[in-house]
Amino acid sequence: MPLAQEVPLEELKRRILAEGRDLGNGILKVDGFINHQIDPELMQRAGAELARRFAPVGATKILTAEVSGIAPALTTGLVLGLPVLYARKRKPITMMEPVYVESAPSHTKGLEVLLMVSPEYLGPGERVLIVDDFLATGLTIAALVRLVHKAGSQVVGIGVLIEKRFEGGREALAHLNVPIEALVTITDMREGQIILAE
């Protein structure tokens, strides 16, 4: 249970340190409250904080990746009053051709995954805020950026719950010249320790 009046950033830090596990090779297990079993109250507060930080960018849509980004994207979208679109990894029969497709390596799955978005829901002129659970190498978010560009739209910000700064994703995305916000930043993970930025 959250502490009384605990701000989302501090609550998220506390939960990561208490419940997160370094599985090695840069993989952080937080699936007890973020990306398998989800703590909806924590996610609601995290989404509200991301919404506060990105309110000035004038986004018209939020984009994330299936599956783990959906919860923070949805709660951010609720506060901002924006539709939330997620890039699918498998094409359902309801998704008509043509579709925008990009590939990205999955750190946790150890293989390439496809990300697909229908032009029916992402077209020219949108101002897109990308929200995800993690920023690590930046390769998944870069694939989402390419989908946005294929649609003729503009990325106006990138927000994540957790950034693993030591994997270089922020630097890989710096050329986009958009605000990148992480609620919690991990500077290192070694010998089972999770080291957070001050």
Please indicate, yes or no, if residue 105 is contained in any of the structural domains: yes
Q: Give the per-residue pLDDT at 91.
A: 72
Domain count, the chain: 1
Please indicate, yes or no, if residue 135 is contained in any of the structural domains: yes
Distance between CA atoms of residues 158 and 179, nearest Å: 6
Please indicate, yes or no, if residue 56 is contained in any of the structural domains: yes
pLDDT greater than 80 at residue 100: yes
- How does pLDDT run across 26-85, given as a tens digit for each residue? 889 999 999 899 999 999 999 999 999 999 999 999 999 998 999 999 999 999 999 999
CA–CA distance from 97 to each of 50, 90, 120, 189, 197 (Å)? Answer: 33, 13, 10, 42, 44
Please indicate, yes or no, if residue 44 is contained in any of the structural domains: yes
Please indicate, yes or no, if residue 100 is contained in any of the structural domains: yes
Mean pLDDT of 157-184: 97
What is the residue range of 132's domain? Answer: 40-187
Q: Give the per-residue pLDDT at 8.
A: 62
Better pLDDT: 47 or 98: 47
Please indicate, yes or no, if residue 5 is contained in any of the structural domains: no
Q: Across all residues in the chain, what is the average pLDDT?
A: 91
Please indicate, yes or no, if residue 75 is contained in any of the structural domains: yes
- How does pLDDT run across 126-141, given as a tens digit for each residue? 999 999 999 999 999 9
Please indicate, yes or no, if residue 177 is contained in any of the structural domains: yes
Write down the pTM of the prediction.
Answer: 0.92
CA triplet 55, 29, 102: central angle to 5 degrees? 60
- How does pLDDT run across 179-192, given as a tens digit for each residue? 999 999 999 998 88
Q: Give the per-residue pLDDT at 198.
A: 77
Distance between CA atoms of residues 84 and 13, nearest Å: 26
Q: Give the per-residue pLDDT at 5.
A: 43
Q: Give the per-residue pLDDT at 192.
A: 84
Q: Give the per-residue pLDDT at 4.
A: 41
Q: Give the per-residue pLDDT at 80.
A: 98
Q: What CATH number is associated with residue 80?
A: 3.40.50.2020
The highest-confidence range among 8-22, 77-91, 142-156, by mean pLDDT, is 142-156
Q: Give the per-residue pLDDT at 3.
A: 42
